[in-house]
Amino acid sequence: MNKKKALIVGLVILAIFLIFRFWFGLGPAPVKAQVERRNLETYIEASGKLKATQEVVLSFPLLGNLEMVASSSSQVKKGEIVARLKAHDLWANLQQAYAGLNKARSNFYYYLEVKSQTDTASAWKEDATSKALVNQASNNVAGAQDGVEAAQFAVDASQATYNKAFLKAPFDGVVGESSLKVAE
């Protein structure tokens, strides 16, 4: 009976130990570790087909040689140039239009000054010659003003044509397929 008694006492001690351990959480000692902030990097690998949420096909409204094109899969921001034609002649036309505008403005200011002087000189005169000079000066100013407007129109038209030599991204995205090659 000693063995039986020893077995019962051992089981009671084991049960008391397990109850204390469960009840009071007497387990392994806690491990201390230093915590530091880091970026979490995750990688996802998947197979399948991607469908674009926005898609647009871009083309030039002008003919010309391609000078630059963004490569396929490159990321672009809205308004960023994705392709460009050689536009040296268009740039020269635009600069020539600006020169014409500057000359027209210069003529306008010249005729405006002449009209001012004619008005001052003929202010008190009532003769036909003075009136003719004032009318001629007014007509010259009006003609010069028309010249400025025509020159501004030429600048606007040249600028619009020059801008057509550039394809710009209509929204942020990624360049899909690009079959264009430089010098085509």
Give pLDDT tens digits for 17-43: 777 766 666 556 566 778 788 887 888
pTM, two decimal places: 0.62
The span from the CA of 179 to the CA of 174, in Å, is 15
CA 25 from chain centre, in angstroms, equals 62
The span from the CA of 81 to the CA of 20, in Å, is 74
The closest alpha carbon to 148, from 94, 91, 109, 95, belongs to 109
Q: Is the pLDDT of residue 153 over 80?
A: yes
**Are residues 176 and 55 in contact, defined by beta-carbon separation less than 8 angstroms?**
yes
Which residue blocks in the chain are alpha helix, DSSP H? 2-24, 88-121, 128-163
Higher pLDDT, 182 or 69: 69
**Are residues 154 and 101 in contact, defined by beta-carbon separation less than 8 angstroms?**
yes
Cα→Cα distances 54→47, 49, 125, Å = 21, 15, 73
